[in-house]
Amino acid sequence: MEKDWMILLQQQNQLEKVMRTNQKTERFHLSLTEQDAKVILEERKNSLSEQKRIEFGEGIATKIIYEFCDSDYIDQSNYVETIVRLQEIFYQYKNEMQDEITDDELLHLMKEQFETICFGDFDYLESTCLANFAQAIRAGYDGYKSSDGYGEYLKFDEVKRWDYELYLETLKELCWR
Amino acid sequence: MKYEMEELVPIVGKLAEKYTAHESSSITYEKAEQLMGAVLYCIHEIEEMGCHSLTLLNKEMSAQKAYEIGATYVEEKAKKALHFYHKILPKFDHYENQCLYDTFIKVLPEFFRRYDVRFEPQNTVVILDYPVLKDISAYTGIDKIYEFIACIRLEQKFLHVFPANYIINILSKYNKYGKESIDNISEVVFINVIGHILAEKSLTKFDLEKADYSYIQEVFMQTDLNAINKRLENAVETFVKNYCENDGELLSYLSDTISGILIRLKNAVDNKAIESMI
């Protein structure tokens, strides 16, 4: 009963808005049926409730769709599942980052890492990349405000990545030996 | 005044958008509750405004309108409280009482620095350790601070009637650790005034003597408490009229404490401990 008014606050018709994203995503060969949109919105409700958050206004589902629709790791077969998972991660990290980061900054950060570091791996995005970054934010880091969330992760990356020069050198040696 | 949740929720939604500066589409439950609290606080504030607003309410003012008017009123009240505070400050005297000094000089500025008039007006932000004579525990936010400052104004007006040394002597006689005590100092002084009235002794004579205490004891044993109460009310009225510019608010502030003080005095008389009270 106590939370009834919170339910009212987020009971806004977003179905139409989610369906409208098809206009843009179709050129990436992605589209949602009304049933898919309902699943996304239903899962959104569960994620919000799990993370003890309420959403107002346009909501995040459409923003996630627009941000990720050109991803190399999303196709029609995993489209709905991916959006649902990204929604979950998004709300979780809004909390973990103590609402210090805006929606756009977090989406830019997620997208960039999803594409270039995680190569489509949700678990890596969730439990490594975003976890590291959330820790930095909680410790007071705010550099993402000037970069709008772009190009941030490498500052906190603890893993030694590919050294491309060394890779090419080794490749040359192997091929031309 | 009652509004349905359906009317209040869109106001919270708009406030949430302002809170996040349109940069976030969701907030935590705690934040949503805080914002709903802010909306209800502002609407409630209209009830405090009196007849003019009630007339508006009778004309079925929308919740949005009620919130807007209430929010403006809260903002004005915060400004008024600050103005009020600055007005008291130059002549403020804590009479060596640390608790009064800390609360008025250190804590209140902190409140004005941190008070969030738009998104959390219901939060009092600070703890007011110094106990004023009026019960302000039901108030929160700026209402509580405003009432507190108003009480301090009245207390200072009352205390300024006496020389500072006189008050400091009374306080140290009442409690040798008076500087650190969290008693209301105007109540201590007021009890002393009451003692002088009951003993029919001039206030210019600081110490009450043994004979005075015996006289007070007699008064309590021979006179009905209601009659003493009445007598004291008249005496306090004359006191306020002569020394405090006939301030009606101060009269009511002091008069409200008489019955409580009388019960404590009666108890002290019954236990032959009146000297430790006055």
Domain stop point among A96, A119, A141: A96
Flag if A60 and B23 touch (Cβ within 8 Å): no
Asked if B123 and B116 touch (Cβ cutoff 8 Å), the reply is yes
Q: How many residues does chain B have?
A: 278
Query: What does each C-alpha distance from B184 to A27, A121, B94, B153 come to in angstroms?
Result: 75, 65, 11, 14
Same domain, A155 and A111: yes
Amino acid type, B240? V
| All residues at 6 or more sequence positions from B57 whose CB lies less than 8 Å from its CB, including other chains | B1, B46, B66
Same domain, A76 and A39: yes
Specify the DSSP element, H or E, that contains B277.
Answer: none
ipTM of the complex: 0.81
Inform me whether the pLDDT recorded for A137 exceeds 60. yes
- Cα separation of B43 and B3, whole Å? 10
At residue B28, the 3 state secondary structure works out as: strand
**pLDDT band of B245, cuts 50, 70, 90:** very high
| All residues at 6 or more sequence positions from B228 whose CB lies less than 8 Å from its CB, including other chains | B198, B219, B220, B262
Residue with tokens 């009890």: B191
Report which of B177, B179, B152, B140 is spatially closest to residue B127, judged by C-alpha positions: B140
Inform me whether the pLDDT recorded for B73 exceeds 70. yes
Same domain, A31 and A3: yes
Q: What secondary structure letter does DSSP report for B20? A: T
- Cα separation of B35 and B20, whole Å? 12
Inform me whether the pLDDT recorded for B51 exceeds 50. no
Flag if B29 and A102 touch (Cβ within 8 Å): no
Same domain, A63 and A116: no
Per-residue pLDDT at A3: 59
* Separation in Å, CA of B11 to nearest CA in chain A: 10
Phi and psi, residue B27, nearest 5°: -140, 165
- Cα separation of A173 and B10, whole Å? 67
What confidence tens digit (pLDDT) does each residue in B159-187 have?
Answer: 999 999 999 999 998 887 778 889 999 99
What confidence tens digit (pLDDT) does each residue in A95-114 have?
Answer: 999 999 999 999 999 999 99
Range of the structural domain that residue A152 is part of? 100-177
Same domain, A11 and A91: yes
Flag if A57 and B25 touch (Cβ within 8 Å): yes
Instruction: Please report residues of A whose CB lies closer than 8 A to that of B24.
Output: 94, 99, 102-103
Asked if A107 and A149 touch (Cβ cutoff 8 Å), the reply is yes
- Cα separation of A86 and B192, whole Å? 72
Same domain, A27 and A105: no
Q: In chain B, whose CA is at the least distance from the CA of A92? A: B28
Instruction: Please report residues of B whose CB lies closer than 8 A to that of A54.
Output: 26-29, 32
- Cα separation of B269 and B219, whole Å? 10
Same domain, A110 and A171: yes
Per-residue pLDDT at A153: 76
Q: What secondary structure letter does DSSP report for B132? A: P
B24-B30-B32-B36 Cα dihedral, nearest 10 degrees: -150
Same domain, A157 and A90: no
The total of other beta-carbon atoms located within 10 Å of residue B157's CB is: 20
Q: How is residue A137 written in tokens?
A: 């934010």
Flag if B32 and A104 touch (Cβ within 8 Å): no
B8, B9, B25 member nearest A58 (Cβ): B25
Per-residue pLDDT at B97: 96
Amino acid type, B148? F
Q: B53-71 burial, b for 16+ CB within 10 Å, e for fewer?
A: beeebeeebebbebbebbb
| Residue of B8, B9, B23, B26 best to disrupt the A interface, most CBs of A under 10 A | B26
Q: Where does residue B182 fall: left (phi above 0), alpha (psi -120 to 50 degrees), or beta otherwise? A: alpha
Amino acid type, B126? V
Query: What does each C-alpha distance from B126 to A81, B82, B110, B151, B168 come to in angstroms?
Result: 48, 15, 7, 17, 28
Per-residue pLDDT at A169: 87
Domain stop point among A68, A96, A124: A96
What confidence tens digit (pLDDT) does each residue in B125-147 have?
Answer: 999 999 999 999 999 999 999 99
B12, B22, B25 member nearest A55 (Cβ): B25
Instruction: Please report residues of B whose CB lies closer than 8 A to that of A56.
Output: 13, 16-17, 25-27
The count of structural domains within chain A is: 2
Q: Please, is A74 exposed, middle or buried when counting C-beta atoms within 10 Å of its C-beta (0-12, 13-18, 19+)?
A: buried
Same domain, A5 and A56: yes
Report which of A155, A57, A136, A38 is spatially closest to residue A96, judged by C-alpha positions: A136
What confidence tens digit (pLDDT) does each residue in A74-88 have?
Answer: 999 999 999 999 999
What pTM does this model have? 0.83
Same domain, A121 and A167: yes
- Cα–chain center distance at A104: 10
Domain stop point among A96, A124, A145: A96
| All residues at 6 or more sequence positions from B240 whose CB lies less than 8 Å from its CB, including other chains | B246, B247, B250, B251, B254
Q: What secondary structure letter does DSSP report for B178? A: G
Same domain, A135 and A74: no
Inform me whether the pLDDT recorded for A160 exceeds 90. no
Same domain, A124 and A52: no
Report which of A44, A36, A28 is spatially closest to residue A90, judged by C-alpha positions: A44
Mean pLDDT of B150-159: 97
Asked if A100 and A142 touch (Cβ cutoff 8 Å), the reply is yes
**Could you tell me what percent of chain B has a pLDDT over 90?**
78
- Cα separation of B221 and B214, whole Å? 10
Inform me whether the pLDDT recorded for A64 exceeds 70. yes
Per-residue pLDDT at A15: 87
As a whole number of Å, the CA-based R_g of chain A is 19
* Separation in Å, CA of B19 to nearest CA in chain A: 11
Report which of B159, B114, B110, B107 is spatially closest to residue B129, judged by C-alpha positions: B107
